[in-house]
Structures are given as C-alpha cells and as structure tokens.
Structure 1
Amino acid sequence: MKNSTKNILVAPLNWGLGHATRCIPIIRELEKNGFTPILASDGVALQILQKEFPHLQSLTLPSYEIEYSKNGSDFKWKLIKNSPKMIDAIFTEKKMVKKWITEYNLNGIISDNRLGVYSKKVPSVFITHQLNVLSGKTTWISSKLHQYFIKKFTECWIPDIERMPNLTGKLGHLKKNNLNFTYIGPLSRLERKNLPIKYDLMVVLSGPEPQRTLLEEKLKKEVLQFQGNVIFIKGIIEPEQKIEHEGKVTYYNFMISNEIETAFNESTMVLCRSGYTTVMDLAKLGKKAFFIPTPGQFEQEYLAKRFKRNGFAPFAKQENFEIADLKDAKLYQGLPQLKKEIHWKQLFILFEGE
C-alpha cells in the first residue's frame, strides 16, 4: 500500500532562534504543497516551532549543548571543549532518525545545520548559509569538516543568491567545490507591509546564553536615553507572552511570526545581532539596521564588517556600543533587497518519489 501522507522531517539546530525561524516558511510551503511536516529539534528552537505550528507532530532531538562563554575570545575554546558532547549528540540523532524513518514513514528530511539528521534511504536536504565556517586560524579545518558533513546529504540548499550583491559573501560562496548545492534565495517568514510607523526603534535579541542576557542588560540601560518610542523583544520563549512598559519602551518576552512581522513593519530602525536569519528578514522588509555581533562569533563579526564596508549598515562591538551610535544608521542605505522567487514546487520534486 502506498503511503498517502508524504511525511517530511524538518529539523533545525537549536542555536538561538534563527535556524528554527527560517524553517517556518519551508514548513508553511510543505503544507501548501501537500506534505505533512514533522518537527524535530530541542530547547527554544523546538518551543518556537510548537507555538507556530501547534497542529503538527513534534519530536525531541538531543541537544548539541552549544555553550557561549561570557568572554567572546574564549568562544572557540568553549566549542572545542564541548565537541565530545556535540559528537555524541550527532551519533544519537543518527540512530533516532534511522528508527523514525520506518516509525513515521518518512518521505524526506530537511535538516538546518543538524549534522546527523540524514539518511541514505530517503532524500535528505541540508540547509546552511555557511559553506565556509569562519573560526579564525582554524577556518580551513572547520570549513573542510562542515563540507565533509554536507556531502552526506542528497542536496544542500543555500538561502542566498549566487551573483553579487548577495548577503553571505565568502560564507556561502566557494571558488571551487564538488558539493551538490542550490542557491534557493533568501528565506524569511515575514512580509513587507505598508503600516503606519509606531516605533522609532525596534530592539530584537536572540542567540545563545549568556550573551543574550548580557546584551539585554546593557541595552535596557541604553534605550532609556533614546529619544522616541521603542519596542524591545527579548527573545525569551516562555509559556505565556509578557508585555511590560517603562517610559517610552515596550518590552515583550517573545512574539510569534505575525506579531513580529507587524512590529518590524511599524518600526523605523532595527537594533539587533548580525545573525543571518535576522539579516534575511531585514533585507526582505527593507529596514535600516544597526548591528551588534555576538562577541567571538566569527560569522556574525564577518557579516557586520562586510555590511559596513558595502555601505549597507553600521555596527559596534558589544562592549563599545552607546545609544548615540544609532544616528550613524541614517547614513547607510540598508540591506540589498534580493528579488529572487523561491521555486518551491521544483525544490520539493526531490520528495515526490515514485
């Protein structure tokens, strides 16, 4: 008997909220095209997907236990120290996926940066914007290692475009390679809408602890000196949404997609990390931005420097940022809007089978 429901496992990495939120448009399109997505992750990444898609089945994968240090310069060594836990999680998720293929009758897998979520039995897609993984002096090794894992998948989808101007630069573009990848165009769960402006500044926090909290504590003091209305989204996923007011600042612990879409469209300027998912959202919405890269995260530091050099958006290091720096954002043109339509039907042919 042929399987009438085409089940696709969608598994983003739990590293901040970005990997999960950029999977939201993929999950929506899978449903529109007659597939049944099954969600799989851990921690806040799984929680945000469960809030967005309460009707879908969700499964828990092992945590990679990625921890940040309080000191950005120790970040790489903390990752190396934690790598045995990460390798253990990759082996465990491989075993779990093997079992799930028959248990949930899977027709395909979409993994956003989860290295063990693939199978030779069903088409498996890896989503990444990093063909090169920047890690300072060890970039060559970290990039080769990442590319070794990418080769295990049927296809690799890169949420960017090939030509210039693009959003990833050297992260998502190789001079020569033997990988099977496709530039699918930037992914964003948000749409541009012509709404009246309510906020002069939107602050969006995300990313792993303890750096998220450190930035929140700093910015809470800074925004009190800002002349204008501020909406401040902390990026803490909790069972209930909480709203607090302090002067001209409105705080939210988290927002789901339609709420954050409205808030973005109602704001003049955005202060945020230079994480790639946020970058794709800003490009889609045509918003001016000011970036504070996560200390020690080479990829975010590279993107922030590249956007400044290209005249798109300014940035400051976390320890140096002052609210007065925001006036510089007016001098920059904002991120390039890449008009590339994503051909979902074409991408999903992979999962159609016989």
Structure 2
Amino acid sequence: MSKTILVCPLNWGLGHASRCIPVIREFLKRNCRVVVAASGAPLAMLRDEFGDDAEYMIFPGKEIKYSRGKFMILKLTGQLPGFLFSMYQEYRWIKKITKTLKPDIIISDNRYGARSRSVYSVFITHQLFVRMPPKLRIFQGLSEMINRMFIHAFHECWVPDFPDAPGLSDDLSHKKSINNVFFTGPLSRFQNPEEYKGEEFAFQLPDDFILVLLSGPEPQRSILEDKLSKELEHETVIWFRGLPGNIGLKKTGNHFRFDHGNEQLMGYCLKKARLVICRSGYSTIMDLAVFGKKAILIPTPGQTEQEYLAEMLHNQSYVVSVNQKNLFELHKDIPLAEKLKGIPQMGNSALLADYAGRVLKKV
C-alpha cells in the first residue's frame, strides 16, 4: 500500500517550494501519494512542476510583510507575535487535516507549526543557527536555543547541505552538531545541466544575456525589479519575476520577461546566461551551484541570513555581493563579476534518497 506524504513549504518567496521539488520527486519515484499544501506563487510553481502527479490544497495563513525602507527590522520584529500565532494556527490546521487526509509523513519546509505528534514529521531548514541583526546580537544565544527547541518538536530535521563544513551554508548549519539533524546534500530543482537543451524555446530567446531571478516577499521584490530595470536598460536581459501566472513570454526591447518558469525553461536560461543577478536566498544559491554560475548577489535588506551568505561567497571570490542601495554602480559590478570564477559546481547528493527510504520504513 502506497504511503501518503503531506508537503508544506513556507509561503515566503519561491525558494522553499523550489527545494521541495527534489523531495517530492523522490517520494513520487517510490510510488507515494504526494499532497502539496501551499498557497500563492509557491502553489502555482509546484502545480506547474508536477501537474496531475500530485494533489494540491491551500495552506491557510498570513504572509510576512517587509518594510520599504530602513525600519525593516522593526517591522519584522513587530510581526513576531503574529509569527507565533501563525505557528499555533498551522499546528491546529495540521491537526485537523490529518484526521481526514491521514498522511503517513509530513514534510515541513520552515513551517514550524506544520507537525504532528501522531504523524512522522520532518522539518527542512538550512538555518539551524539563526543570525540576529547586529543591534539584536545580544539575543543570539537565546534565539539559537529557541530555534533548537522548535526543531526538536519534529521527529527529525533535514538540512539541505553537505555534512562537512563549510558546505554552502557554513555557520548557519555547521556551527555545532544537533541531535535529530541529518544533512541531505543540496536540494535543487535542477539536475544535470546537460539535460537543459532548450529546443522548445531557444528560438525565442537571445544567445548572449544576463539572467535576473526575482523572488521573496513584497514590497522588496518589486523594489528590486524597478531598480534593476533602470540599471540594466541597455543590457540584454531575461527576467524571471517570481510571480504566479502563466509562463508566457513578454518582450520589451532587449528585455524578455517571464512571471515564472518550469524546470526546463529556467534550467536552459541558467545554463546559457553569462551572468546571474539575484537575491542571495539559500535555495537560489543551491540552484547556482548546480550550474557553477557567476553571479551578482543582492541580499534582501534586513534579512541577515542572506547578508551572511552573500558576504561569505563574496569573501571567497566566487561572486560579487552588492547592497541594494548601491545598484547605481551596477555597470562597474557586472564586468567584475564576470571575471570571477563563480560558485563551485556541485549537484544534488544521493543522501536524500537514503533518508527518504529510511523514513518510509519507519511509518
């Protein structure tokens, strides 16, 4: 009898849904029934990716909102009570849905409340050690203790990185060992770069281009799109805007825009691009590593995890990291980034298959 897997990615940009794709593939390969609980753009992405191979439902909840300006940290901190209440609501919804759906395993990507005492629950995160902003660094130890407490509420935790430091996440995951934590290797939706030949759409697209990948919560996603549109006016650019909707191409001058893309389309563009400009979200970095890309990384303002990852890769001379305030110098950063070696190429690991097989034997 096939097992039922409930997959719940966090609705915070597309990254959490993206790294659930190889997890879903692995369970489908094992003839499991996969039910995706998500909303908005993540749900649209996974529906496009898997079609009738999976089932879908709306995961209710409140979206995190970002500030437009310098009060980002205050706004996010002010939403902390709402975050805790959302965790409680997630837990209640899972408790209710498990009575009718009767899943054998719950896979939660960064949804701290998506777990059950009666259903084997797996938490996916690359942040075992959450980085606090400089002004709140006094609470670093407390935040790590609370995060560990939340993680230990799950039966186990999967970290999408290699077991040995520094990996791709360095201190975010490798600071110290934690019980019930297993390293799956990177989890990218993309596989062997040679598979992305682009026969279906190459004729519509330029041969030489910069690729822009937009993602993350509003309004910062739109703010970055507006800034980059001005700075890249004279470049040939393919855009993936990180929005729900159809995959249809919209062309304006030398700019080619897709609201989002399936694996084949995005894989082809990542393979062909001479440079990628994007946020420094961890899922995006895993995707860049599959192709060994040169990149300009622009951390989301106030998101300390992205700032840390961009700085780490910049200091290793793999990429150029640029503060969103300094995009007016992008014309200088592009040739600099093109001279660097790019993120070392590394694909998905076989560890995921081992862990998926092991948890299926437990239920």
The TM-score with structure 1 as length reference comes to: 0.92
Query: Which of 221, 226, 240 matches 1:233?
Result: 240
Q: Do the aligned residues in 1 keep the contact of 2:12 with 2:217 (CA within 8 Å)?
A: yes
Which residue does 2:31 correspond to in 1?
34
Which residue does 1:103 correspond to in 2?
100
Q: Do the aligned residues in 2 keep the contact of 1:188 with 1:284 (CA within 8 Å)?
A: yes
Which residue does 1:114 correspond to in 2?
111
Which residue does 1:155 correspond to in 2?
156
SS where residue 352 of structure 1 aligns?
helix
1:66/1:340 CA distance change after superposition, 3 Å: closer
Matches within 5 A, 1:91-240: 91-136=88-133, 137=137, 138-175=139-176, 177-191=177-191, 192-193=193-194, 195=197, 198-226=207-235, 229-238=236-245, 240=246
Deviations 1:174-204 (A, max 9, x none): 23x4431111100111131275982331111
Q: Do the aligned residues in 2 keep the contact of 1:291 with 1:315 (CA within 8 Å)?
A: yes
SS where residue 54 of structure 1 aligns?
helix
Detail structure 1 runs of 4+ shifted over 3 Å in the superposition.
Answer: 194-197
Matches within 5 A, 1:14-53: 14-53=11-50
Q: Identity over the aligned pairs, expressed in percent?
A: 38
CA shift, 1:339, in A, is: 5.4
Amino acid at match of 2:342: G
Q: Do the aligned residues in 2 keep the contact of 1:284 with 1:337 (CA within 8 Å)?
A: yes
SS where residue 171 of structure 1 aligns?
helix
Which residue does 2:78 correspond to in 1?
81
Deviations 1:296-341 (A, max 9, x none): 1101111111101111111111110133111111232211233562
SS where residue 225 of structure 1 aligns?
coil
Amino acid at match of 1:268: R
Provide the rounded CA distance (Å) in 2 between the counterparts of 1:102 and 1:218.
48
1:300 counterpart = 2:306: yes
Q: Do the aligned residues in 2 keep the contact of 1:123 with 1:351 (CA within 8 Å)?
A: no
Provide the rounded CA distance (Å) in 2 between the counterparts of 1:232 and 1:104.
38
Amino acid at match of 1:149: F
The number of residues matched between the two structures is 346
Provide the rounded CA distance (Å) in 1 between the counterparts of 2:218 and 2:58.
20
1:39/1:334 CA distance change after superposition, 3 Å: same
Q: Root-mean-square deviation (CA), in Å? A: 1.8
The TM-score with structure 2 as length reference comes to: 0.90
Deviations 1:110-150 (A, max 9, x none): 10000011112121110000011112223333322221110
Task: Please identify which structure carries the higher helix content.
Answer: 2
Provide the rounded CA distance (Å) in 1 between the counterparts of 2:346 and 2:99.
40
Amino acid at match of 1:266: K
Q: Do the aligned residues in 2 keep the contact of 1:166 with 1:338 (CA within 8 Å)?
A: no
- When structure 1 is superposed on structure 2, of 260-269 and 337-346 the one drifting more is 337-346
